[in-house]
Structure 1
C-alpha cells in the first residue's frame, strides 16, 4: 500500500483510490471481476486495485460475501 509521503503525492497513493471503488459500489453489490473492470482505467494495475480493496476491507467499508462471491459497500464511512 502506498501512503502519501515525500516520494508519493496523495493522488499517487492508495488513499486516493478509495472513493473510486466506493462510488461504483453505491449502485449495489457486484462480483469482484466486474468491479475491477469498472475501475480498471483509474488504476495502474491489478496490484494497485488489490491494495485498495485490502484497505477498504480493513477499514470495514466493504464486505465480501464468499457464498455469492460479491463485494458490497457496507454503508456510510469516514473515507
Structure 2
C-alpha cells in the first residue's frame, strides 16, 4: 500500500483509489472480477486493486463473502 509522502503524491497513493473502487458498489453488490474489470482502466493494475481492497476491508467499508465471492458496500464510511 502506498501512502502519500515525499515520494508519492496523494493522487499516486492507494488512498486516491478508495472512491474509485467504492463508486461502482453504490449500485449494489458485484462479483470481485466484475468490480476489477470496471475499475481496471483507472487503476494501475491488479496489485493496486488488491491494495485498495485490503484497505477498504480493513476500514470496514466492504465485506467479501465466501459463498458467492460478492463484494457488498457496507454503508457510509469515513473515506
| Same fold, TM-score > 0.5, yes or no | yes
Unpaired runs of 5+ residues, structure 1, are none
Cα distance in 1 for residues equivalent to 2:51 and 2:14: 7
Question: RMSD of aligned C-alpha atoms?
Answer: 0.4
Cα distance in 1 for residues equivalent to 2:45 and 2:67: 26
Structure 1 length as normaliser, TM-score? Answer: 0.98
Cα distance in 2 for residues equivalent to 1:69 and 1:55: 18
- Cα deviation, residue 11, structure 1: 0.1
Q: In structure 1, what is the equivalent of residue 78 of structure 2? A: 78
- Cα deviation, residue 68, structure 1: 1.4
State the number of aligned residues. 79
Unpaired runs of 5+ residues, structure 2, are none
Q: In structure 1, what is the equivalent of residue 8 of structure 2? A: 8
Structure 2 length as normaliser, TM-score? Answer: 0.98
* CA shift digits 1:27-66 (9 cap, x unpaired): 1001000000000011111000000000000000000011
Q: In structure 2, what is the equivalent of residue 50 of structure 1? A: 50
Cα distance in 1 for residues equivalent to 2:21 and 2:72: 10
Q: In structure 2, what is the equivalent of residue 37 of structure 1? A: 37
